[in-house]
Amino acid sequence: MLVIIGPTASGKTRLAVQLAQQHNGEIISADSRQVYRGMDIGTGKDLAEYVVDGQVIPYHLIDIVDAGDDYNVFRYQQDFDRALQDILSRGKTPILCGGSGMYIEAALRPTAMLAVPTNADLRARLEPLTDSALRDLFTQNPSPYSPLADTSTRKRLIRAIEIGQYLNEHPDAQPAPRPPLPPYRVIGLDPPVAVRRERISRRLRDRLQHGLMEEVQRLLGQGISPEKLIFYGLEYKFVTEYLQSQLTYNEVVTQLETAIHQFAKRQMTFFRKLEREGMNVQWIYDVRLTNYDLLLTPEHVYAGVSNKS
C-alpha cells in the first residue's frame, strides 16, 4: 500500500492519481469532509483530477454520507478496512491519500479503535469552560487515551476529555480486532511555504468565484443548520457567517485565507507528531518532481505506525 500525506494544496491528489495509473491502483481518501455528499467546492474534491489520459482512477470514501450526518474517525476506520480489503481482494494497489491526520492515524494504527459514544451532558458542562480550563481538566484526569489524544482544537480537546472519562469509567472495554495492514510506504508532500501559500490563496479565490457561496446557500436551503456548517469549519464556517450577515465579503476572504494557512501548519504539526511516534515518511520538497518511480524504494516499506519491518 502507498500512503500520501501532506498539508492542503500540496498536490496530494495529483500524485496519487499518477501513481494509481502507473501501479494498477485505487485511491482511498483520508479527508474528514470529503465523505459528505453535496460538500464539493469547499472540500476541494476536484473529481476531475481522478481522470488521467482518459482513464478514470477508482476512488473510495468520498461522497459516502449526506451532509449534516454525524461521521467520525471510528466510523472512518471501519470504512477504511472494508475499502482496503475490497481493493486487495481484486489484486489492486491501495493508495491512501489525504490530509486529515487523525484519519491517516486511524487507518494505519495496528489496532482497532473503540467506539466511544458521545456524552451530551458532559459536553453541555464543558462548553462554557475556557480553553485553558479545558486543558487543565484534561491534564488533571489522565486516561489510557491521554498520550494519544489530539488536543489541537477546542472541539478535539472536548472529545479527548469525553473519551478519557469513558475509558476511566469502563476500564475493561476492548475494541474488536481489525484485519492486518499490508506493508506500506508513506510519501509526504511538503512544498516550500511560499509555494503553498500562493496555491492556497489562488485556490480560495477561484472557489469563491466559482460556486462556493452558492454551495453553502444550497446546503442551508436543504435544511442543514448554520451551526452544523460552522462546525465543519474553514470555508463552510466563514461563508455561513457571511450569509448570515455576520461578516462582509472582504472579511470572509481575509479571515478565511488566514485560517487555511493556519490549518496547513496544524496539519504539518500532526504529521510530525506521527513521525516522532515512529511513522517513517519519505518527504518530497521539490514540487516539480515527475519521476514517481523514485518514490518506490524498498527501504521505505514498513508495516505499522511504530513497527518498522
- Distance CA(230)–CA(2), nearest Å, equals 33
Q: Is 8 annotated as a binding residue?
A: yes
Distances in Å between the alpha carbon of 35 and those of 8, 63, 70, 98?
16, 5, 11, 12
Query: Rounded to 5 degrees, what angle do the CA atoms 206, 270, 124 make?
Result: 90
- Which single residue is written with the C-alpha cell 489562488? 202
Q: Is 192 annotated as a binding residue?
A: no
Q: Is 9 annotated as a binding residue?
A: yes
Query: In this structure, are residues 66 and 136 in contact, taking their beta carbons and an 8 Å threshold?
Result: no
How do 36-37 and 93-98 pair as beta strands? Answer: unpaired
Q: Is 248 annotated as a binding residue?
A: no
Q: Is 13 annotated as a binding residue?
A: yes
How do 93-98 and 2-5 pair as beta strands? Answer: parallel
Summarize the chain as % helix, strand, coil (round to 5). Answer: 50, 10, 40
Q: Is 12 annotated as a binding residue?
A: yes
User: What kind and span of H or E run contains 82?
Assistant: helix 73-89
Q: Is 211 annotated as a binding residue?
A: no
- Distance CA(41)–CA(58), nearest Å, equals 20
Cα radius of gyration (the chain): 20
Q: Which amino acid is it at 3?
A: V
User: What kind and span of H or E run contains 105?
Assistant: helix 101-108
DSSP code of residue 302: B
Binding site, annotated residues for substrate: 8-13
Binding site, annotated residues: 6-13
Binding site, annotated residues for ATP: 6-13
